[in-house]
Every structure is written in C-alpha cells, then in structure tokens.
Structure 1
Amino acid sequence: MRNISIINSFKRELFHLIHCAALAGTIVLLISLSGGLREPNATTFEAKEMLSSWKQYGFLLTAFLYIIRILTLLCLPMALFNFLGLVLFNAFPDQPKSKVYSGREHVTFPFVCFRVVTKGDFPQLVRNNILKNKQTCEESGLEHYTFEVVTDKSISLVTNENVRELVVPGDYATKSGALYKSRALQYCLEKDVNSLNDDDWIVHLDEETLLTNGCIKGIVNFICEGKHHFGQGVITYNNDQVVNLILTLCDSIRVADDMGKVQFQLKVMHMPIMGWKGSYVISNVGAERHVSFDHGPRGSVAEDAYFGLLAASKGYSFGFIEGDMWEKSPFTIADFLRQRKRWLQGLLLVVHSSEIPLRFRILLGCCVYATATAPLTALNVFLQPCFPIQISRFVDLSGCFIGGVIIYMNLYGTLRSYTYSVNHVGIGKLLLLTMLGFAVQPVKYSLEIIAILWGLVTPKNEFAIVDKNVLRNEISKFP
C-alpha cells in the first residue's frame, strides 16, 4: 500500500510539472505569435515608415484604440493570482480519504451544521439532496452534524435529530433591510432562532450541492487545525447528472479559478480579496454572527463577496479546504445569462460600498471593472490587427500573459474536472471533452458579454433564481 501511495504521489507531481510547462508554454506561444519576443529595437520596415497613429487614424479613433488596450491591464491582478495558484500548489492533488476519525476524536469534534437556503420552489430537489448528503456523511463517519434547510415556504421536510427545517416568517425584516438570501441567513443568526454554539461550524450549501467523502475529510481537517475562521474549497460541475454539456464545459474555467485565484488568496493572503463563492463556505458560528449578513440591499445581491470582504476587514482569517463538492451548471442559456448578470450587478454594489475599507475593495474592483469593460476590450481581437498602434511593450506582454492564462485555464478546468470525475472517462474521451471545452469558449464569452451589457443597463437590486431542478429537465446522454 505504501508503494502504491508513493507511486501515486510521484504521478501527481509529474502531472503538475507537465501542467506548469503547458501553462508557461501557452503564454510563451501567445507572446511569440504576437511578436512580443522580438528585440525592442527590432522593428519592421512597416513600423519604421508608419505615420504617427494619431495622424493616421485621427484623434477619436486613436484615443479609443489606446483606451481599450490599456483597459486590458485591469485583468492583470486576476491573471497573476490564477497563475500563482496554479503553479505554486499541486494542480492535481490527491483527494482526502473518506476515513475521518479515530473513536476518541468522534467525541471531541465540534458540531457541524450543513445549511441550505432556498425559496422553496424546488422541494423535491432539496429533499433528495438532503438524503444523498446524509448518506455521504454516514459513509464518511461523521456523527455530530445536522442539516438545516432555511426556506421562505415549507417544503414538508421530514425532520429529526439530523434534519431541521426553518421557515422564514413573511413579516421578518432585518435592522438594515437585508434582502433575498442575506435576509434568510440573518434570520438563522437571530438569538431566538439560532440553536448553535459559537464554537460550532456552519457549512453553507446551495440547493443542488452534493457532498463527497473527500470534501467531508477536508472540512474535518480544516476545523481540527483551528487556524482559520472561514474556508472554501473546489466545486466541480460535471458529476452526478449533466443536463447541459455545453454550459457545463463553459463553467470549467470556474474550476480552474478555484484552483488558481481562490486557492492562492486563501492559502497565501488568507482573505477572499478577489471574491469567493456563496457555497462550500465553512464558517465558525461565533465569527459569522459577529460579521452578520445584515448589510442592507447593497450587501444582498452578492452577499458572499460582501460578507467575505467585510469579515477580512474585521481581521478574520480564511483558509483553503481540500476535497471537491459537486454542483450543477445552469441548464438553459437564459439561466446562464441571469446568473452572470446577477454576479456582475452584485459585485458592482460590493466594490462601491463605503462600509468596506477601500484597501479591501481595490483588487476585487479591478476584477469587476475588467468584467464590466469586457465588451470593449474584446474588440481588441478585431481592431488590433486592422488598426495597429505603437504602445508600451509592458502593455503588449501583459496582454499576452493575460490571454495565455485565460486560454490555458479553459483547458485545465476541463482536465481537472474530468480527471476527478465520478463518471470515469478514458483518455480518448477526455481529450475529446477538452477540445470541445476549448471550442465552446467563443460561445461562452459571447454569452458573458451579453450578460454584462444586460447587467449594466438594468436595475442592480434584483436576485435571479436559477432553476437547477434536474427532475424537470432532460439529462444529457454525454456525461
């Protein structure tokens, strides 16, 4: 057994080295194709003879060309964080084992509450997933836990010592007027509702989130280490039942983002300085109650990012959790657009909130404005070849670095997802899925741009619910 473990460890280290070489190679290839590897003085005859861009194109067009080129630098912090996360930490880590405790540790381990917030529109989905997740907890050896479903309307959940249903009263209002999910989360923290002790822990899940033995082991390790108040791990989208393969592949970059940016900021900086997700969040109860979710409408659309930055500004520490959880990508293009629109609108509210100190909002602000200006910067793909301009070598190289990281993340995200997939695929099918994942990226970015434009011109205090009730949707035959 020890020899097998050593061999597996060696394989994962080898895969990581190949991965690092592929990432660097993608960046270098893009720089080479753009001419960025030329010596600074090795200009072509055409460049030497070229009239000043300002004279050649006119002031307005030239100014526009320079602006959209420089705006690409907003993506640089995000690309750098992703690069460092993907290089500094093993990109193909061994998943935690399902065996969790010795008998003595069973008695002393803190109590864990798995909390699901729902409007109650998909009761069967929630009930089914509670049953699946309870079974996973039992298989992993976890004993001191409960599942708590917080809902706007009853879903007729069968309650017992491990399952509790909380219906948020229709007339309940927080002090600041928090809305949507924030309102429900704050209701759970009220003194006459909360049943947890300050040294207990909450694991926040979405309606469709499925636990794995690996993530439970990761959660246990994280809590037992006692180093951080909050944590988050990797979510993949291709397990269980895949409803829309194309949109699932479009979400592969989110897996790479978890392994890159999220892992780096939580392991090195110990704060979600560029944002994090609202599920697979581990919280110490006392810390969560102190930070609270009662932050008015501005903190209610992207409540996860708002909560994370505010907690970091109060001095709380964050860590990264090993082990994957499973979720689903949107099933329809309309839901995909609504989801992305809400993210942008909510994050814009977060980065403009004066309640969070500016130094904690700057890097997230770069990410958000990089997203908001994507419809403009995307034009560089078409305008740069047609209207070349003389610009700083730093801007050129930075643009190639950003593009190389993003291109590689799409490839790696698919590989990482299916390498750990419960639906084991052969090397041929894995390569096919990877190529397909790369091929759908123009569709993904076109949809993202539509969602961005939609988000910029519509009210920003709306909270769209994405339908992930697999029982009402046709399941893809291709996992």
Structure 2
Amino acid sequence: MLPLDQKGSAKPGSNHKRFVPLRRQYRRVRIRMDGRLLHCLMVSLLLIIIAVSIFQASGMIGAITAPPAEVLSSYKTSSLFILYLLRLMTLMPLPLTLFNFAGIVSFNTFPRKPKLRGSTLFGPFICFRVVTKGLFPKLVRNNVTKNLEVCSQLGFDNFVFEVVTDEAVQLPKLPRVRELIVPNEYRSSKGTLYKARALNYCLEEGINYLNDNDWIVHLDEETLLTESSLVGIINFINEGKHDFGQGVITYADGEIVNWLTTLSDVVRVGMDYGMLRFCLKFLHKPVFSWKGSFIVSNAGVERKITYDFGPDGSIAEDCFFAMSAWRDGHTFGFVEGDMHEKSTFSLVDYIKQRKRWVQGILLVLFSRVLPWRCKMGLSVMILSWLTLPFTVPNIILVVLFPLPMPAIVNALCGFIGGTVVFLFIFGAIKSFSLRNMGRCQYILLCLAPILVAPLAMIMESISVIWAIFGHQNHVFDVVNKECNSTAKDLESADPVETV
C-alpha cells in the first residue's frame, strides 16, 4: 500500500509518485480520447456510407463493362446518347468530393476547444467590420451588443466594432463601436458596386485609420462571435504565418426560423470541415474560394489589394478578393473555432442567395485580370453547379431507364453520392447540440437532412437556371435577415457593460 498523507499525496520522504485515483486517471484519458475516438467513428461512418452507396449504385445501374446488345437496342440512338451523357455528368463534382473526403479524413473532425495562447492584454488590434445597407438596424444593434459581450467575457479589449452602412443604424454610443456611413456620392476609380464599394471606401486615404500590422475580421449582419472563434482568431494572428484566414460557420444555433433551409444549409458546415479546411490548412490556398463572412485579414495587405474590382467583382466580392490575394502570392490559413449565423428565412430567399453566388462566381471566372491558375478550382465548382439541373433527374432516370455502365463509373458515382450524404449528416451533427435537446430529437435532426437533400438539390437547380437565364447579372439580391425575436429594440434589452 502506498504511504500517503491525509491529503492523498506521497509523503516527503517517500520515493513513490503522487497517487492519482483511478477514476481521475480515467477521466483524463477519456477527455484526451473523446475527440480522437469520435473522429475515428466519423471516418468509419463515412466509409460505411460510401461502401453502401457504391453497392447500391452498382446494383441499380449494373456493373458490367460490356453492355448487352439486347438492352441497348431498346433505346433510340439519340435517347441513348442523352441518357449516357446525363449519367456521366454526375462525375463532374468528383474533384470537390475528393477534397471534401481528404479534409474529413486528414484532420480531426472533433478538435478540442481552442485555448488562448498568450495574453489578451498584449494581443493584436482587431477591427470587426460589418457591412450593411442599413435595412435591418435593430438586427445590427443587437448583434453588435452580443458580440461586445463575447469580447468582454474573454477579457479582450484591443478592438473596435465598425459598422459600415449606407443608412444610419443608430449604434449605441460605446468607446469601441464606430458607425461609418458611406456617402451616396462616393465612387471608386473602377466603379465598384454594393458591398465591395463600401469595403473599398473603408480603405480610402483619410478614411482608413488602421496600421499595416492591425487586423480586420469581416462579419455579416447576422454573424455572431463565439468565445472559441475569438480565441481562434487571436491565436491565428499571433502565429503570424498567414495573411488571411477563415473558420467554420454553423447555421442552427438560436431560434430556427425555417427548418427546411436550415437543414439544407448543414451541408455547408460539412464542406467547411471538408474541402475548405483541407485547402486552407494543408494547401494554404482558396482553391474553391471561401465564404463572405468570418474572414480574418491583415489590414496592410488588404489595403494593397483593395476591393476596387469594378462591376464584375461586385457580386461575389469575397471570391474576387480571395483570387486576387492568391494571385499576388499571399497565403491562407484555417482559423479554429466556429461562428454562428442563420439560414435564409424562406425558400425564395434561399434560391435568390444561390442565384447571386452563381452569377457572381461566373463573373469572377471570366475576369481577365485573374490568371487561370487561380481559377481552376472555380471552374470545377461552377461546372458542377451548372450541370446540377441535368444530374438531379438521374435520381429518377436511373430507375426508369436502367443502363449498363462500367464498374468504375458505378464506383465513382457511389463515392460521390455517399460523400454528399455523409456531409449532410455530419453537418447536422456539428450544427445541433445534444445538450439542448433530447437524444431522440437529436438523432432525428441528424438524419433529417437525408430527406431534405433532394429538396436542397432542386432549389440549387432552380437557382442555377435563374442565374443563367436571368437578364440582370449585376444585381445584388438582399435577403431578409430580421426575425421577430431579433427585431426587438436594443433599448428593451439589458444594457451591455462598457468594454
């Protein structure tokens, strides 16, 4: 028996190490292993879903390399050509799928909550910049207040929240809050429009007040900071390895206005952990672009690149900026932690949002100022998007018009389909919290995206058709972002502590 004193420690004269109860040892091991174990389980789930999907694809389409003549003779030549072309179009997203697969498998999908490395007292100066048209002032005020509370709770005070707006939003008079109204008469040298115009106005001489060593974190109106994302941002900046960074955004925190759009958006969370993380953390390049929020940017570098891209770079200004930074040789990194946003409140807004993305990325793709070496990933992504209206009907055509296909095509189609299904499930797992709901409800919500996925693909297809055949390619659609709960006046809420 170990010679222990009354506190359970080894006696001073003893050679024995301090005794640690078995229960405490188990707890420490469990904490260390939980993330790795869950990651192994997720990878196993991914492989199982892919295997089942490949098996189903082979069973439905056929796995013989030489199609029997009696089957092919039942179709007209033109019909046969169209059917085979539609089947082969399903392989278009293969590069995206490979990057998503690599991101999920290569990096821990359940990383530990980031811990602050260093003191907040001597951290970098950060400007949290929100650009708005001023249509939802109460939403902006409420979210600025919530984000100030996050900074205050962490003890971080070397920052400013800057709201750049076309119309006044009446922000609270606080030391670290700045409201910047873009004059109606302001015109950039290249005639930049919309959000890019406002972002470029902040960088103009006489308006910009940031030093080259300061940092900017770009947020949307509805974006909410979390402690983990703030810690991740500070750690990313202190490392000093990259000029730009981005992290994960989830869409199911807080009040859910529309369940269909929220469940449709969970795949974006899976893609953040997949191809976005792989591109930024391993390749350090925005191969398939990035999001327009949760952008961590060095102020000096951003001022050199500017947002003055002209009308063609004004619809998807975030994508154009990323490609410009890549062209100029800057590197990108992945920021730990996650931020929260809300999905669109209606199916129409969901379609409008995707339509703008398609039109904006198409304009970026055909821009002459960006080299093609920086647009190869964009070309694959946009081709996958444009062929979506032709590949979605394959879900029914495969059953109604069976065709013998080579085994490799079956396997690749199964791999793509299985990975997409997993991204929906995994995105739901990361979006919803088991602590905030019952186990049964949590399981149902994690499986529900499988049923919603066909609707999401149909809406994406409609947005593509609208983007292609719509005559207005330089229109920036603004979707509703203010629900009843966020529409309450800031004055009715508890006052925030001055930070």
Fold shared, TM-score > 0.5 on shorter chain: yes
Q: TM-score, normalised by structure 1?
A: 0.92
Q: TM-score, normalised by structure 2?
A: 0.88
Residue 152 (structure 1) aligned with residue 175 (structure 2): no
Q: 1:257, CA displacement in angstroms?
A: 0.7
| Alignment equivalent of 1:106, drawn from 121, 126, 142 | 121
Contact kept in structure 2, 1:159 and 1:165, CA below 8 Å: no
Contact kept in structure 1, 2:392 and 2:458, CA below 8 Å: no
The whole-number CA distance in structure 2 between the counterparts of 1:231 and 1:2 is 37
1:171 alignment counterpart? 185
The whole-number CA distance in structure 1 between the counterparts of 2:97 and 2:298 is 30
Contact kept in structure 2, 1:248 and 1:329, CA below 8 Å: yes
3-state DSSP class of the match of 1:50?
helix
1:435 alignment counterpart? 447
Range 383-392 or range 404-413, more displaced? 383-392
The whole-number CA distance in structure 2 between the counterparts of 1:164 and 1:38 is 60
| Alignment equivalent of 2:282, drawn from 249, 254, 268 | 268
Residue 372 (structure 1) aligned with residue 389 (structure 2): no
Q: 1:73, CA displacement in angstroms?
A: 2.1
3-state DSSP class of the match of 1:133?
helix
Larger radius of gyration: 2
Residue 48 (structure 1) aligned with residue 62 (structure 2): no
The whole-number CA distance in structure 2 between the counterparts of 1:450 and 1:252 is 19
Q: Which runs of 5+ in 1 are unaligned?
A: none
- 1:269-292 Cα offsets, whole Å, 9 max, x none, are 101110110000000011111111
2:33 alignment counterpart? 10
Q: 1:48, CA displacement in angstroms?
A: 3.5
Contact kept in structure 1, 2:365 and 2:375, CA below 8 Å: yes
Contact kept in structure 2, 1:82 and 1:260, CA below 8 Å: yes
The whole-number CA distance in structure 1 between the counterparts of 2:397 and 2:98 is 25
Range 447-456 or range 21-30, more displaced? 447-456
Contact kept in structure 1, 2:39 and 2:108, CA below 8 Å: yes
Q: 1:412, CA displacement in angstroms?
A: 0.8
The one-letter amino acid paired with 2:113 is Q
1:67 alignment counterpart? 85
Q: 1:34, CA displacement in angstroms?
A: 2.1
TM alignment of 1:83-98, pairs within 5 A: 83-97=101-115
Q: 1:126, CA displacement in angstroms?
A: 0.4
1:130 alignment counterpart? 144
The one-letter amino acid paired with 2:481 is K
When residues 39 and 328 of structure 1 are mapped into structure 2, their CA distance, relative to the original with a 3 A threshold, is closer
The whole-number CA distance in structure 1 between the counterparts of 2:480 and 2:26 is 46
When residues 5 and 462 of structure 1 are mapped into structure 2, their CA distance, relative to the original with a 3 A threshold, is farther
The whole-number CA distance in structure 2 between the counterparts of 1:337 and 1:212 is 28
Contact kept in structure 2, 1:265 and 1:271, CA below 8 Å: yes
Q: 1:8, CA displacement in angstroms?
A: 2.0
The one-letter amino acid paired with 1:24 is L
Q: 1:142, CA displacement in angstroms?
A: 1.1
Residue 24 (structure 1) aligned with residue 37 (structure 2): no
TM alignment of 1:387-406, pairs within 5 A: 387-406=401-420
Contact kept in structure 1, 2:61 and 2:402, CA below 8 Å: no
3-state DSSP class of the match of 2:375?
helix
When residues 305 and 42 of structure 1 are mapped into structure 2, their CA distance, relative to the original with a 3 A threshold, is closer
Residue 161 (structure 1) aligned with residue 175 (structure 2): yes
Residue 253 (structure 1) aligned with residue 253 (structure 2): no
3-state DSSP class of the match of 1:26?
helix
- 1:388-419 Cα offsets, whole Å, 9 max, x none, are 33444333222111111001111111011114
Residue 470 (structure 1) aligned with residue 483 (structure 2): yes
Range 154-163 or range 409-418, more displaced? 154-163
3-state DSSP class of the match of 2:162?
strand
The one-letter amino acid paired with 1:50 is E
2:396 alignment counterpart? 382
When residues 206 and 42 of structure 1 are mapped into structure 2, their CA distance, relative to the original with a 3 A threshold, is closer
Residue 456 (structure 1) aligned with residue 468 (structure 2): yes
Q: 1:435, CA displacement in angstroms?
A: 2.3
When residues 42 and 456 of structure 1 are mapped into structure 2, their CA distance, relative to the original with a 3 A threshold, is closer
Range 388-397 or range 114-123, more displaced? 388-397
The whole-number CA distance in structure 1 between the counterparts of 2:65 and 2:463 is 42
Contact kept in structure 1, 2:164 and 2:181, CA below 8 Å: yes
The whole-number CA distance in structure 1 between the counterparts of 2:223 and 2:77 is 53
1:198 alignment counterpart? 212
Aligned residues: 464
The whole-number CA distance in structure 1 between the counterparts of 2:28 and 2:480 is 41
Contact kept in structure 1, 2:166 and 2:183, CA below 8 Å: yes
3-state DSSP class of the match of 1:321?
strand
The one-letter amino acid paired with 2:102 is L
The whole-number CA distance in structure 2 between the counterparts of 1:323 and 1:313 is 27
1:58 alignment counterpart? 76
